[in-house]
C-alpha cells in the first residue's frame, strides 16, 4: 500500500465517522435501533429489546469505528517513522484528537450532545486497534 492511499483511507474513515455524527439525534437513535433489531434477529438465543442493549449497541459502535480508525492511522504513520513507540504515540494522539473533535462537533447537532465519556469509550477502540496493529506488525516482522 502506498503512503497516499493509506492517508486517503484515514480521511475517508474520518468522513464516515463525521457523516454519522452529523445526523440529528432522532436519526442516530433510529439507526442504532435498526442495528439492534438486526443483531437480535441473528442471535441464536433469545434476547429482549431493552434500553441497556440499545446502549451497548450505541457504545459498541463507538468502539468499532475508532478501532478501525486507529488501525488505519497506524498503517499510514508507518510510512513516516520506523520506531514503533513513535508510531503508537502519533496513532494514539491523532485518533484521540479526532474522537474529541467529533464529540465537540456533536454539540452543534440537534438532539446530540458531545460527551467526554464517549471519548473514553472511543479510546477503548483506539487502544484495541493499536494493539492489533502492533501484534500484526510483530508477527509480520518475525516471519521475514
pTM for this model (two decimals): 0.87
What is each CA distance from 80 to 7, 19, 66, 86, 89, in whole angstroms? 11, 28, 21, 10, 13
> Which is more confident, 40 or 119?
119
* Domain hosting residue 49, numbered range: 3-142
In the chain, the number of structural domains is 1
Total residues belonging to the chain: 144
* pLDDT at position 46: 65
pLDDT at 47: 67
pLDDT tens, residue by residue, 79-109: 998 899 999 999 999 999 999 999 999 999 8
Between CA 4 and CA 80 the distance in angstroms is 12
pLDDT tens figures, 21-74: 888 867 777 777 787 777 777 776 666 777 777 788 888 989 999 999 999 999
Contact yes or no for 112/24 (Cβ under 8 A): yes
Amino acid at each position: 500500500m502506498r503512503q497516499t492511499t493509506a492517508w486517503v483511507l484515514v480521511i475517508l474513515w474520518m468522513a464516515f465517522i463525521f457523516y454519522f455524527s452529523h445526523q440529528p439525534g432522532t436519526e442516530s437513535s433510529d439507526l442504532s435501533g435498526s442495528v439492534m433489531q438486526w443483531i437480535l434477529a441473528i442471535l441464536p438465543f433469545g434476547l429482549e429489546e431493552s434500553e441497556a442493549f440499545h446502549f451497548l449497541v450505541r457504545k459498541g459502535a463507538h468502539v468499532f469505528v475508532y478501532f478501525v480508525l486507529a488501525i488505519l492511522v497506524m498503517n499510514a504513520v508507518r510510512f513516516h517513522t520506523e520506531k514503533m513507540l513513535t508510531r503508537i504515540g502519533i496513532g494514539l494522539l491523532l485518533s484521540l484528537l479526532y474522537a474529541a473533535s467529533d464529540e465537540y462537533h456533536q454539540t452543534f447537532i440537534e438532539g446530540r450532545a458531545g460527551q467526554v465519556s464517549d471519548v473514553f469509550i472511543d479510546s477503548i477502540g483506539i487502544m484495541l486497534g493499536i494493539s492489533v496493529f502492533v501484534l500484526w506488525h510483530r508477527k509480520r516482522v518475525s516471519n521475514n
